[in-house]
Amino acid sequence: MHAPAPALVDVRWIVSLVSQSVCDQPGAVCQDPRFIGGDDITFYFHSKKNHNFCPLSDSNLHINAHFIGKRNANMKRDFTWVQSIAILFGKHQLFIGAQKTTTWDDSVDRLALSFDGELITLWESEGARWQSESFPHVSFVRVGDTNNVMVKVEGKFRITARVVPITEEDSRVHNYGVTKDDALAHLDLGFKFFSLSNRVNGVLGQTYRPDYVSRVKIGANMPVMGGDREFQTSGLFAADCAIARFNGASDSENEGSVEGLEFPSLNCASGIDGRGVVCKRYMRHCSICMS
């Protein structure tokens, strides 16, 4: 596969959008993981490592997140982080993931991206852009040279995603117990939605409903959102959580349900595997696995 010629765009407007940390804005999903809801209330959702949960489900948009983590022997829960997300809309599917890495180097790109099963290759240059030929409303743009991307579907959503590691200092301060064999690369995410219904649900999605009353204990040192069972899905591309709203309909036509769609099953040396996942190693780590 040949990388496309670089498509560079004026990124000044993009940089201005993310000049403030996405982790401090409504729609943020960062750290362990800490959410900022559409109601501007901050809360934590601890979940479980190696499981998938639904941040948002609406009739024409569904987002799942895969969590990685570490078990602390002195606690009854896992420390968890979002390693990848899958976005379903109509019959389309997007994937954004952080590739596993042992030693972190921010100059080495660890993003894995795909749209409708097609591996997305972006030149490692700020402003490099990819736009779908089959569905031109979808675009990927690099916000930095590596590990930072903005994904946009016109009229539906905009997502900023950055791959970050757990540092030795983070591990020491929070007692994460991170070892040298895995930097626990994960995603810091910022979501902006443009067409949600009043029935939207999910860990994050429910906070955008006009009638939503916060389920967390306001004023607590660490307000926690419970209900992991109702938000858990059987797979990264499965819209089968208990609160699922997704029916696969687009804005202009009923495109059917995601149920029954077959996504490729992959096994990747980078540590990302499962149905619907596309993986690669960038530039000097040149290998692509698809099956």
Over the stretch 54-106, which tens digit does the pLDDT of each residue have?
999 999 999 999 999 887 767 777 889 999 999 999 999 999 999 999 999 99
- Domain range for residue 47? 20-230
Q: Is 289 exposed, middle or buried (0-12, 13-18, 19+ CB in 10 A)?
A: middle
- Please report whether residue 12 resides in a domain: no
pLDDT attached to residue 237: 97
- φ, ψ at 250 (rounded to 5°): -90, 180
The domain tally of the chain equals 1
- Please report whether residue 247 resides in a domain: no
- Please report whether residue 218 resides in a domain: yes
- Please report whether residue 118 resides in a domain: yes
Cα(62)–Cα(175) distance, rounded to whole angstroms?
34
pLDDT attached to residue 164: 96
pLDDT attached to residue 283: 32
**Residue ranges in the chain whose pLDDT is less than 50:** 1-19, 253-291
- Please report whether residue 257 resides in a domain: no
- Please report whether residue 265 resides in a domain: no
- Please report whether residue 10 resides in a domain: no
- Please report whether residue 4 resides in a domain: no
Q: 290 CB contacts (<8 Å, ≥6 apart)?
A: 119, 264, 266, 278
